[in-house]
Chain A
């Protein structure tokens, strides 16, 4: 890969600005990759990377990715929560890069919940 410069960044900025005025970068989906020690040790970083690469390749700008800590279900890590606007959050367990790519294509883009990987519906309640 050729070395990227600040000028490249400026070009990207202008390009993105143009696209943004055409379609608003509204947040349609929020994806949370759980990044506690347990998640990282079981491969959350690779899951996160697969997700980010899929988003880049699909050129979508309405999917917002964030990380969170451990939620106490360490044995089922890596966990990923997919929250499509106005829908109940879906938690996926035992994720890996391939499952993440499938969830991205089938659930996040096409709206079909990937039942075999689902741990639970709804948000966790941390007391």
Chain B
């Protein structure tokens, strides 16, 4: 995977498959500290201590269709290559928190990539899940919360093409305004 947005999509898809109702995605770009962090928080099924130990092992997976699980090892590798690391906290039955840190200006840090298509894909493909996206860039912040959209559209499905078009517009303008440059 060549951009961080793809990792975010992958990890958040894990969350929805673990039965999460709310997935929080926090991105923090701090030029002064030369730090980029990505945090994904869910209220899905969570993992036991044994499972957490095995999660960094590419040959551990809960899937039955094949024998490798590369999502988390990929992200851990991307973080390590940019002088950062991956932290994972999880409680069985409560949810999972994954934080990846990167040295913002590191030569080998992957570009953030297209966050807008990531969020729209997540919302369109998981219309029963709520996503809260927070992106901080130094002193500016953009927040997007599907619960606010849902409140306004009543019985309309959030994955209706017109609503998705609106969401796409809100996110891309919002990200422009905080002039994210990662």
Question: Taking beta carbons and an 8 Å cutoff, which residues of A are in contact with B?
Answer: 1-4, 6, 8-10, 12-13, 15-17, 25, 33, 35-38, 40-41, 45-46, 48-49, 52, 55-56, 59-61, 64-67, 69-72, 74, 126-127
Contacts and interface: CB of A to CB of B under 8 A. Distances in A.
B10 A49 contact: no
Given A33-B125, A70-B66, A40 B156 contact: no
Contacts of A65: 124-125, 159
25 contacts: A1-B173, A3-B173, A10-B152, A12-B162, A15-B162, A16-B160, A33-B125, A35-B9, A35-B10, A37-B71, A40-B13, A41-B1, A41-B6, A45-B114, A45-B117, A48-B125, A56-B162, A56-B165, A65-B125, A65-B159, A67-B13, A67-B124, A69-B63, A70-B66, A74-B66
B6 to A, nearest CB: 5
A115 to B, nearest CB: 26
Contacts of B121: 33, 35, 45, 48-49, 52, 67
Interface residues of B, number: 42
A78 to B, nearest CB: 12
Given A40-B10, A52-B120, A61 B161 contact: yes
Interface string B46-88: 0000000000000000011110011100100000000000000
B182 interface: no
Interface of B: 1, 5-6, 9-10, 13, 17, 63-66, 69-71, 74, 114, 117-118, 120-121, 124-126, 148-149, 152-154, 156, 159-166, 169-170, 172-173, 177
Main secondary structure of the interface of B (DSSP, over half): helix
Contacts of A4: 166, 169-170, 173
B64 to A, nearest CB: 7
